[in-house]
Structure 1
Amino acid sequence: MANTEIETWVLDSCRELGLLVEGAEDDFFAAGGNSLTAVRLIAKVEERYGEDHLPPDDLFERSSVGQIAATILANRERSGAAS
């Protein structure tokens, strides 16, 4: 799955969580994310992509939509996930 597909999924997921995000440059926390929405996003990522694809430390350190998608993609590739 290409990074842009994951990015679209992250955007949609953030919107479902009530965040005002428009694109890859938007920051999860600046858009209204907090520790509760972070836990919810991590749970959504785990449900969709698997465990440890968005560790909390990574979300807090790299919190733009594009960076979140890149983190998920990198962790998928490292784990050898095919889908």
Structure 2
Amino acid sequence: MTTPDSAAPAADLVPVVELGYEAARDELVRVVHALESGGASLEESLALWERGNALADRCEEWLQGAKARLDAARAATPGTTAAGADQA
């Protein structure tokens, strides 16, 4: 996988919608480090920020999906209450 840096053309990056949670999270960490380093041009910084924002949204989608699956599993388990599911 290509790392998001100033040398990587946007066309070489994996589309965000195709990334799993761990891949999106790891790339987001690299994007944040690249932005914090301050070595990118304004245009590169904007592209990194946009990619990072999309990656953060993707991570949130995965986390919400995982929460929904856990909630459904808890609801299907005898003896588990809705209040108990919220405490996790």
TM above 0.5, yes or no, is no
Pairwise TM-score range, normalised by the shorter structure? 0.3 to 0.5
TM-score (norm 1): 0.32
Higher-helix-fraction structure? 2
The structure number with the bigger radius of gyration is: 2
TM-score (norm 2): 0.31
Higher relative contact order (CA 8 A, sep 6+): 1
